[in-house]
Structure 1
Amino acid sequence: MSTKSILLIEHEASIREVLHTSLSEFGGWRVTLSDSIQEGVNLCMITYPDAILLDASTSETDALIFIEQLKRHSMTRSIPILLITARASWFTSNQLQQMGFAGAITKPFNPSTLPAQVSRLLGWSNGDL
């Protein structure tokens, strides 16, 4: 069984570190870190992750622009993207899907349960942890 990989795009260093530890230590996944959307797009083209976890409050650009940039490339078009945002409850599952997201995780989050939440939203089985 191969280990799943996640591209984590979070501009705030302290939150990025907590997310990284939660996903890699508790989830057992390979995590590639990015502090900006543009760097995330570039890393996506190199690493082809199994999923992307994107902070929706990045200051440089909008999360929807990120999705549009990924859709331009056939190799990254099908990578599921999860939002992590304090505004996750503002959206229904249908609205998130229409915008191109696989789901959303609310900030603040519980680091010990985050991997199970990611797995549930992505439809990954426990064997994928």
Structure 2
Amino acid sequence: MNRRILVVDDDEAIRDVVRTGLEVLAGWTVRLATNGADALAMCAADPPDAMLLDVMMPTMDGPTTFGRLQDEPRTRSVPVIFLTAKVQPSERRQYEDLGVAGVLAKPFDPLTLPGEISGLLGWRD
């Protein structure tokens, strides 16, 4: 099944790795955003099947972006997975308590990324 994923990260290298892993290996459609404001606009116009959202970005961080998604009926149901380099158990719990679908640690392996995302979201293709 073709999944539509929005990847939001201010780091171009991370966006490239994710795109490669998801488009080439899984055949999913990947859209890219470099910040929370662009992600919100893209979601409002055409909600994706899921979003990978960097926690630490300038201007509008991941938790703030996630909160704004939750405030809007059209984007409230978009499952969000946080991407972060900070994966201490307390931080992971803090992020999960916000209501995200999961947390993935950077760096990650593009070869296993589609399976990890599918597992977190309960997708069975």
> Do the structures match in fold with TM over 0.5?
yes
* Partner SS, residue 7 of structure 2: strand
Q: Give unpaired runs (5+ residues) of structure 2.
A: none
* Partner SS, residue 52 of structure 2: strand
CA distance in 2, matches of 1:20, 1:121: 18
State the Cα distance separating 1:68 from its structure 2 match.
Answer: 1.8
TM-score normalised over the length of structure 1? 0.88
State the Cα distance separating 1:23 from its structure 2 match.
Answer: 1.1
Q: For residue 57 of structure 1, what is the aligned residue in structure 2?
A: 56
Shift in CA distance, 94/15, structure 1 to aligned 2, threshold 3 Å: closer
Q: For residue 96 of structure 1, what is the aligned residue in structure 2?
A: 95
8 Å Cα contact 2:53-2:80 kept in structure 1: yes
CA distance in 1, matches of 2:75, 2:38: 14
State the Cα distance separating 1:99 from its structure 2 match.
Answer: 0.7
Q: For residue 66 of structure 2, what is the aligned residue in structure 1?
A: 67
CA distance in 2, matches of 1:24, 1:90: 30
Q: For residue 20 of structure 1, what is the aligned residue in structure 2?
A: 19
Moved more, 20-29 or 60-69: 60-69
State the Cα distance separating 1:3 from its structure 2 match.
Answer: 1.4
Deviations 1:59-103 (Å, cap 9, x if unpaired)? 222222112211221111011100111113434775433212110
Q: For residue 39 of structure 2, what is the aligned residue in structure 1?
A: 40
TM-score normalised over the length of structure 2? 0.91
Shift in CA distance, 93/10, structure 1 to aligned 2, threshold 3 Å: closer
Across the aligned residues of Structure 1 and Structure 2, the Cα RMSD in angstroms comes to 1.6
Q: Give unpaired runs (5+ residues) of structure 1.
A: none
